């Protein structure tokens, strides 16, 4: 029996300049959750149509690209760059022009840089400075995170201005760089509480700065002054301890946490344990192109310049099996994103640390090569499927920082940040051909499958036929609103953990994939953070019978009389509880190691 074809309502294409209109035909669209054959039509910087050719009428004069055999993927989002950063007594050489040009050349169409105020500097003033540097130079869209490099009432007040008026929804705190940016645990707790009250996302640089400071002194006085001293002063467990502590502190403040640059197996395991313990709610992790594409044996190279060029913090690990382990964590959703931490210094700048490893300016390249490294070590190596590649190079960052689906998806209505990716083509990485301003490339000589053949930045073709033609100042600032649904719905239990993890449980070869803790069959009972328990009336105060408040329906969801709203607090929980004298008497509904509260 033959059925007559349904009449198809064709999407009309407006007659405008071919410059504004691009038609990509015969490609394979890859989003984080599915992949399918489709044509893509772009007009005025927006994706207007994704679907079969039969549903779109294409007039003449439109720039048409044949993507047969290629993938059409969302432009990469690099959530971690430091362009023209004043750091270690010098300034990183990739400015917002060279940095974003390199990004685009490699298939990244959005970057998120960090505003890092000096100690005592106003957040708003530092933000204005970054905008003034970036706006005239950026070749692709960008967002900003704010560093909380010191802590005071004025900083806390300005965080609200950042969120409400200036499009910043994420704040990075440093647990290292003692005497410069490092915050102590009380300050961390207070920043987490503040961030939670604003509906923002906390980030940490997780290394124990106190241990590092001691080790640096010990190593230098023992005569260890070369680059090899860097990793010795901040070994894996120094990173792992801080990851564990940050996760617990953030959980106590009921604040979502994104751990930047997870660089070691031990730190990755701590993050995976925390995600497992908290049922995938509120903890996210990023690793770097550097951690996936190279390793710390380079820091032992007999050439001082070669070794120093590989110095960043946390360090590359000397264990050469680390990169594959980190990729496995990405594959299993123990980690969610890849950044570059692009913070490049030339040979002459690295020489500041000759004779004292602790003075070597920290930082490496990665913004240009991140996508190719993840493809090569992930997809080409058989550890990631193309959907997961899109998730960890683009979509997850867009979701966590609330840019999704404007960014991070090939769909009608999304920004036309589109890459035509040739999975079969190869390219050799070299400082001689890269688009960075720096004179070294940590991936030198590596041959990568996966090449961004065409890169379209908000509708503008910037890479084609091996030519990189960017426009300085074309990029726009992307304001990020607070309360990213992906993060807050999970934190508040509005979605089930399965929905959070979703399709990533399926392996490329079809067998079930387990994350680290599942695989080890570890059982860690969940304990609700006291902050949340108090807010929801899910805790028992002294004098009341155990469980009485929580079990009285009228008390549910109400504040206990006389208590402040903990999420509005700018004080540490511990200080408050100490002052009220209540601390030792508070009983929560679920005893340590006990059953889940039933909220989940
Ligand atoms: O070594 C690094 N990572 N340099 C940039 C600053 C930071 O800590 O992210
Ligand atoms: Zn850092
Ligand atoms: Zn960084």
Q: Which three-class secondary structure string do you get for 366-389?
A: CCCCHHHHHHHHHHHCCCCCHHHH
The residue to which tokens 């993050």 are assigned = 271
DSSP state of 217: H
Among protein residues, the one whose CA lies closest to atom 3 of ligand 1: 313
* Pair 17, 384: CB distance under 8 Å: no
Is residue 343 lining ligand 1, measured as CB closer than 6 Å? yes
pLDDT of residue 513: 56
* Interatomic CA distance for residues 564 and 503, integer angstroms: 41
In this predicted model, what pLDDT tens digit does every residue of 162-196 receive, in sequence order?
999 999 999 999 999 999 999 999 999 999 999 99
Q: Which candidate, 410, 573, 491, places its Cα nearest to that of 71?
A: 410
* Interatomic CA distance for residues 281 and 454, integer angstroms: 37
Peptide bond into 273 cis (omega under 30): no
* Interatomic CA distance for residues 299 and 21, integer angstroms: 48
Has residue 360 got a pLDDT over 80? yes
* Pair 24, 65: CB distance under 8 Å: yes
pLDDT of residue 527: 75
Has residue 10 got a pLDDT over 80? no
pLDDT of residue 539: 59
What DSSP element (H or E) covers 241?
A: helix 236-252
Distances (CA, A) of 535 to 200, 460, 563, 566: 18, 49, 9, 7
pTM of the model as a whole = 0.86
Among protein residues, the one whose CA lies closest to atom 1 of ligand 1: 312
Has residue 414 got a pLDDT over 50? yes
Which of 308, 341, 352, 438 for mutating ligand 1's site (highest number of atoms within 8 Å of CB)? Answer: 341
Please report the atom of ligand 1 found closest to the CA of residue 362: 1
Is residue 341 lining ligand 1, measured as CB closer than 6 Å? yes
Distances (CA, A) of 182 to 149, 187, 385: 7, 10, 38
Among protein residues, the one whose CA lies closest to atom 9 of ligand 1: 341
Instruction: Give, in degrees to the nearest 5, the angle at Cα 203 between 308 and 156.
Output: 120
In this predicted model, what pLDDT tens digit does every residue of 455-510 receive, in sequence order?
999 999 999 999 999 999 999 999 999 999 999 999 998 986 544 444 333 333 33
Q: What is the mean pLDDT of residues 70-96?
A: 98
Among protein residues, the one whose CA lies closest to atom 5 of ligand 1: 363
- Taking the CA atoms of 119, 121, 123 and 126 in sequence, report the sign of the dihedral they define: negative
Tokens representing 188 are 């961390």
Task: Please give all residues whose CB falls under 5 A of ion ligand 3, grouped by chain where several chains appear.
Answer: 341
CA of 532 to the centre of ligand 2 (A): 29
Is residue 363 lining ligand 1, measured as CB closer than 6 Å? yes
Is residue 253 lining ligand 1, measured as CB closer than 6 Å? no
* Pair 109, 75: CB distance under 8 Å: yes
Please report the atom of ligand 1 found closest to the CA of residue 114: 9
* Interatomic CA distance for residues 384 and 380, integer angstroms: 8
Sequence-distant (6+) residues with CB within 8 A of 9 are: 55
Work out the percent of the chain whose per-residue pLDDT is above 90.
77
SS3 542: coil
Which of 87, 92, 312 for mutating ligand 1's site (highest number of atoms within 8 Å of CB)? Answer: 312
- Taking the CA atoms of 80, 261, 526 and 184 in sequence, report the sign of the dihedral they define: negative
Q: Which of 225-234, 281-290, 419-428, 540-549 has the lowest mean pLDDT?
A: 540-549
- Taking the CA atoms of 15, 18, 19 and 21 in sequence, report the sign of the dihedral they define: positive
Q: Which candidate, 86, 584, 39, 569, places its Cα nearest to that of 363?
A: 86
Among protein residues, the one whose CA lies closest to atom 8 of ligand 1: 313
pLDDT of residue 40: 97
b/e code 12-30 from CB counts within 10 Å (16+ = b): ebeeeeeebbbbbbebbbb
Tokens representing 538 are 């899910």
Is residue 70 lining ligand 1, measured as CB closer than 6 Å? no
What DSSP element (H or E) covers 516?
A: helix 516-520
Is residue 362 lining ligand 1, measured as CB closer than 6 Å? yes
Which of 80, 114, 242, 313 for mutating ligand 1's site (highest number of atoms within 8 Å of CB)? Answer: 313
Q: Which candidate, 19, 24, 21, places its Cα nearest to that of 65?
A: 24
- How many of the other CB atoms lie within 10 Å of CB of 381? 13
Instruction: Give, in degrees to the nearest 5, the angle at Cα 244 between 209 and 273.
Output: 155
């Amino acid at each position: 029996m033959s059925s007559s074809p349904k009449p198809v309502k064709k999407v009309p294409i407006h007659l405008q300049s071919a410059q504004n209109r691009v038609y990509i035909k015969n490609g394979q669209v890859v989003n984080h959750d599915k992949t399918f054959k489709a044509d893509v039509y772009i007009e005025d910087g927006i994706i207007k149509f994704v679907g079969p050719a039969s549903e779109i009428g294409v007039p003449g004069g439109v720039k048409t690209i044949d993507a047969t055999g290629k993938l059409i993927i969302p432009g990469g989002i690099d959530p971690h760059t430091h362009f023209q950063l004043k750091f270690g007594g010098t300034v990183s050489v990739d400015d917002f022009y060279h940095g974003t040009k390199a990004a685009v050349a490699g298939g990244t169409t959005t970057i998120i840089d960090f505003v890092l105020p000096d100690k005592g500097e106003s957040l708003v003033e530092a933000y204005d400075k970054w905008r003034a540097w970036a706006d005239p130079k950026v070749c692709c869209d960008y967002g900003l995170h704010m560093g909380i490099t010191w802590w005071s009432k004025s900083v806390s007040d300005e965080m609200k201005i950042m969120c409400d008026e200036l499009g910043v929804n994420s704040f990075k705190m440093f647990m290292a760089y003692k005497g410069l940016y490092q915050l102590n645990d009380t300050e961390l707790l207070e920043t987490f509480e503040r961030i939670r009250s604003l509906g923002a996302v906390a980030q940490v640089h997780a290394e124990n700065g106190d241990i590092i400071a001691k080790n640096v002194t010990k190593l230098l006085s023992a005569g260890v002054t070369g680059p090899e001293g860097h990793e010795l002063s901040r070994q894996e467990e120094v990173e792992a301890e801080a990851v564990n502590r940050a996760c617990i502190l953030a959980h106590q403040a009921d604040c979502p946490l994104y751990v930047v640059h997870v660089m070691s197996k031990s730190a990755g395991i701590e993050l995976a344990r925390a995600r497992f313990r908290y049922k995938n709610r509120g903890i996210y992790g990023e690793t770097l192109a550097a951690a996936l594409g190279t390793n710390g044996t380079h820091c032992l190279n007999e050439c001082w310049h070669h070794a120093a060029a590989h110095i960043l913090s946390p360090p590359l690990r000397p264990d050469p099996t680390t990169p594959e382990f980190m990729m496995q964590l990405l594959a299993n959703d123990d980690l969610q994103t890849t950044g570059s931490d692009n913070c490049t210094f030339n040979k002459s700048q690295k020489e500041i640390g000759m004779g004292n490893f602790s003075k070597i300016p920290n930082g490496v390249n990665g913004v240009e090569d991140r996508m190719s490294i993840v493809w090569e070590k992930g997809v080409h190596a058989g550890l990631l499927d193309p959907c997961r590649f899109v998730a960890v190079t683009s979509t997850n960052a867009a979701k966590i920082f609330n840019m999704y689906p404007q960014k991070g998806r090939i769909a009608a209505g999304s920004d036309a940040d589109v890459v035509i990716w040739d999975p079969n083509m190869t390219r050799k990485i070299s400082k001689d051909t890269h688009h960075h301003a720096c004179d070294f490339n940590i991936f030198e000589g590596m041959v990568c499958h996966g090449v961004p053949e065409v890169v379209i930045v908000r509708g503008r073709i910037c890479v084609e036929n091996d030519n990189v033609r960017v426009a300085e100042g074309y990029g726009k600032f992307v304001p990020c609103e607070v309360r990213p649904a992906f993060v807050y719905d999970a934190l508040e239990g509005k979605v089930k953990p399965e929905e959070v993890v979703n399709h990533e449980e399926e392996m490329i070869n079809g067998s079930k994939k387990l994350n680290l803790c599942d695989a080890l069959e570890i059982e860690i009972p969940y304990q609700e953070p006291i902050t949340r328990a108090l807010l929801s009336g899910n805790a028992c105060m002294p004098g009341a019978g155990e469980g009485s408040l929580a079990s009285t329906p009228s008390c549910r969801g109400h504040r206990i009389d006389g208590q402040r709203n903990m999420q509005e607090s700018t004080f540490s929980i511990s200080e408050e509880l100490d002052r009220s004298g209540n601390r030792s008497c508070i009983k929560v509904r679920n005893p340590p190691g006990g059953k889940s509260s039933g909220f989940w």
